[in-house]
Structure 1
Amino acid sequence: MNRIAKVIAITVLTVSSAAAMAQSYTGPTASSAGASPHYTGPSTIPKMTAKQLLDNGTDDQYVTLNGKLISHAGSKDYVFADASGQIKVKISSKYFPANQIIDGNTPVEITGKFDKNRFGTSKLEVKQIKVTAS
């Protein structure tokens, strides 16, 4: 096999293997919590409302809230709302469920660690987000 034929064969193999890998890649949520099995049994993490958390929550407390992400404030910052009020939340893209669209009308359950600030805005750093039925 001459040198040009070898170069062409290597190029074809490289391009075809890269194309095959690209077809299986699904983006930044490919390895997120939503794409892998996770625990769904009982939990000691309290369920609260946004108002209860803001009024009575303690710094570094883990909590679960049910409601909706009503707006994106830029970067990892979102506004979460339930019937009691609103709270700012921070969500890394890796925690969004794979292959599910979440908009302002999608009911979700979020679990995370509360960052209570005496001065400034307190927020919830979300570690898990699940789409719920209501």
Structure 2
Amino acid sequence: MKSITHSLLVAGAISLSSFTLADYTGPGAGGEPTSVAAINKAPKDDMYVVLEGKLLQKKKHETYIFSDGTGEIPVEIDDRLMPAQNINEKSVIEIRGEVDAGVMETPEIDVKEIRVIKP
């Protein structure tokens, strides 16, 4: 009887642990890889995006011009999110964030995470 109870407990624990490790991996699961050209063409407010490219220039405090080679878009990067290492207009970075697209306004990206790929 003890072995049956023990087996049931182990089986239950295994099934629960595999269930909790499962995660949704479909559309919208962690940022849609897209392009600046696609965002500029049809901006969707609050759409979470992942972009790889370069910061071309600093426009003002926490606002930069970003390009992925398909176009340019303003990005807002909080000072606390900037990497410890220096980056310049030749550095390749990955940004993750949300599109901020108001009516009759130029879309921009509110960056939530930045990662240096090539300094």
Aligned equivalents of 2:68, 2:97: Cα separation in 1:
16
Distance 1:133 1:74 in 2: 24
1:130 corresponding residue in structure 2: 115
Work out whether 1:113 is the aligned partner of 2:98. yes
How far residue 70 of structure 1 moved from its aligned partner, in angstroms, is 0.3
Q: Is the counterpart of residue 69 in structure 1 residue 59 in structure 2?
A: no
SS at match of 2:115: strand
Aligned counterpart for 2:44 among listed residues 39, 52, 58: 58
Cα distance change, pair 56–120 in 1 and its aligned pair in 2 (3 A): closer
In the alignment, the residues of structure 1 paired with residue 118 and residue 59 of structure 2 have an alpha-carbon distance, to the nearest angstrom, of 25
Q: Which runs of 4+ in 1 moved over 3 A?
A: none
Deviates more, 1:61-70 or 1:49-58: 49-58
For residue 51 of structure 1, give the secondary structure of its aligned residue in structure 2: helix
Give the alignment of 1:75-94 within 5 angstroms: 75-94=61-80
Q: How many residues are aligned here?
A: 92
Q: C-alpha distance in 2, partners of 1:44/1:122?
A: 20
SS of residue paired to 2:103 = coil
TM (norm. structure 2) is 0.71
CA distance in 1, matches of 2:44, 2:71: 18
After superposition, give the CA deviation of every residue in 1:43-98 in whole Å (9 maximum; x if it has no partner): 63111111111223310111011000000001111000111010000011111112
Q: Percent identity?
A: 30
The gaps in structure 2 that reach 5 residues or longer are 1-24
| Distance in 2 (alpha carbons) for counterparts of 1:57 and 1:118 | 10
Aligned partner of 1:15 in structure 2 is none
1:13-49 per-residue CA deviation (whole Å, 9 max, x = no partner) reads xxxxxxxxxxxxxxxxxxxxxxxxxxxxx86311111
Q: 2:66 & 2:96 partners in 1: Cα distance?
A: 12
Higher strand share: 2
**What residue number does 2:87 align with?**
102
Q: Kindly report the root-mean-square deviation, in angstroms, between the aligned alpha carbons of the 2 structures.
A: 1.7
> What aligned pairs does 1:29-48 form with structure 2 within 5 A after superposition?
44-48=30-34
